[in-house]
Amino acid sequence: MISSATSSNIALPPTSEAQTQQTNEPALLHRSLLTQPHLVTHAQGSYLYLADGRKILDACGGAAVAILGHGNQDVIAATTAQMQQVSYVHTLSYTTTSAEELARSVLSRDKCPSYDHGLVRAYFVGSGSEANDAAMKVARQYWVELAGGERTSRKIYVSRRGGYHGNTIGAMSISGNVSRKKPYLDTVLPNVRLVSPAFAYRFQKSDDGETEDMYAARLVGELEAEFLRLGPDNVIMFSGETMVGATSGCVAAPKGYWKGVREVCDRYGVLLHLDEIMCGTGRTGTYFAFEREGVQPDIVTLGKGLGGGYVPIAAMLVSDKIINALRKGSSSFNHGHTYQAHPVACAAALAVQKVIKKDHLVERCAAQGARLERLLRKTFAGSRFVGDIRGAGLFWAMEFVEDISSRRPFDPRVGFGVAVQQTAFELGVAIYPGAGTADGERGDHILLAPPYNVTDEELEKIVGTLKSAYDLVEQKHMDMTIDSEL
């Protein structure tokens, strides 16, 4: 067939589809322009099935997201049922049963049976970054409302180095992830200050006799000193991941740290925001990770496991203190998204929460997490380059170091952690790699975050395959070291 362009002698460029076929270039902008991701044809339970015929056990849930695995019929049925009822409404004028019930489910007091967490309202958005941006905005508005709607001196956010809160400009501004933030240093918000991370393996002065209590006290003292340096009346809130996720790998704060932080925030009237995008909704063996710490935050953000990967959804939860300030002032939250509290997303997430409760998956996560810890510690005991194994629930990381005694990390050019991750993938298990663990540029770790319903056999396969991958990478590194010395 002769095209109209040919018949009229007009030379037009090929269509996008033709161009894609001719150059074999994807139309989708992937994370890397050099390599293309693996094509997944379908998934079931804990397994991903690739177009090349391989079957991959997903030991990290993508990024600690797929808490139920794939193909849960209860979630699928609830999602399609909501689509048949109403697919979308604008929340300026409307609400839906799925959104209202999800809020009640997440906020229900049985999440923290031992004490009242004080969280009274939920705000649903599409991603963790959006949730943390919302937290930044509601915290600022809180102070504006207390000032009677006038300007307030509270304009500075304080967070921690080595923390990660998202990829939007706001969330990235309060993040301390060096590599992700680096291209945007001239454009992120200037009114952010960072204090030290609560990372005992790297920064506790154990060799100088510093105990865990002393380390926690030192960190809390540093935070108080920073508030005083900035002027407490200038600080909006302090943000931190209750258990740090991907940036440094499942790092829990030393005992007493969060209680001390809460006391300092109360002393100077600073709001406390706990980011549980990755570590919340049961991942650490309690529904909220802060339950383990016995504190009451003013703002909490959830994501990833909230929808279990079936839909994109995240949440900001706020305390009655913040709601009361808004109610006495403008009686509104001056923020909004087109897709906030999306009915279908909320229905799917609600179904996920019901499965968690019905199948006692938080308790199962704690029990299977203890089993995973035992397997990891036994299997990797004495491994030459394994510096630390840490975590809680089904949220575990392993940090690799070139020298265990000094905790010296590998040169970034070695890429030890990525090599372990890639080797494990070739052996049939997907794990989550991390770099820049030690200082933002140096350091390697891998992260494990399988579904809460992971079986004993799957845990054994995960750890066994990880050990095989590690052994291969260790041997290759040793061989290269010997060759370089000859």
Q: Render pLDDT for 281-340 as a digit per residue (tens, 0 to 9).
A: 999 999 999 999 999 999 999 999 999 999 999 999 999 999 999 999 999 999 999 999
194 in a domain, yes or no? yes
At 171, list the tokens.
């969330």
338 in a domain, yes or no? yes
pLDDT of residue 1: 33
Task: Please count the residues of the chain.
Answer: 486
CA distance 363 to 165: 27
1: exposed, middle or buried (Cβ count in 10 Å: 0-12, 13-18, 19+): exposed
CA distance 232 to 228: 6
429 in a domain, yes or no? no
pLDDT of residue 23: 60
Scored b (16 or more CB within 10 A) or e, 355-392 reads: bbbeeebbebbbebbeebbebbeebbeebebbbbbbbb
Domain count, the chain: 1
CA distance 374 to 438: 25
Instruction: Judge contact between 343 and 98, C-beta under 8 A.
Output: yes
Which of 389, 390, 391, 369 shows the shortest CA–CA distance to 381?
389
335 in a domain, yes or no? yes
Give me the residues paired with residue 127 across strands.
Answer: none
142 in a domain, yes or no? yes
Kindly report the backbone phi and psi dihedral angles of residue 445, in degrees, each rounded to the nearest multiple of 5, phi listed first: -150, 165
Which domain covers residue 328, as residue numbers? 73-358
- Position 362, amino acid: V
CA distance 262 to 266: 6
Which of 170, 230, 158 shows the shortest CA–CA distance to 195?
158
pLDDT of residue 13: 42
Within 150-256, residue ranges assigned H as helices are: 169-173, 178-181, 200-203, 212-230
Name every residue whose Cβ is closer than 8 Å to that of residue 253 and which is 6 or more positions away in sequence: 198, 216, 219, 242, 243, 293
- The domain that contains 253 carries what CATH number? 3.40.640.10
1 in a domain, yes or no? no
pLDDT of residue 486: 59
For the beta carbon of residue 227, count every other beta carbon within 10 angstroms. 24
pLDDT of residue 168: 96
CA distance 59 to 268: 42
CA distance 59 to 47: 9
At 146, list the tokens.
């207390």
**DSSP string covering 372-427:** HHHHHHHHTTT-TTEEEEEEETTEEEEEE-SBTTTTBPPPTTT-HHHHHHHHHHHT
For the beta carbon of residue 13, count every other beta carbon within 10 angstroms. 8
Give the pLDDT means over successive 10-residue stretches in the chain (486 positions): 35 43 78 93 98 98 97 98 97 97 94 85 98 98 94 96 96 93 93 98 96 98 98 98 96 98 98 98 97 95 98 98 96 96 98 97 98 98 97 98 97 96 98 95 97 98 98 94 71
246 in a domain, yes or no? yes
What pTM does this model have? 0.93
Instruction: Judge contact between 392 and 241, C-beta under 8 A.
Output: no
295: exposed, middle or buried (Cβ count in 10 Å: 0-12, 13-18, 19+): buried
154 in a domain, yes or no? yes
Q: pLDDT digits over 103-119, tens only?
A: 999 999 888 877 789 99
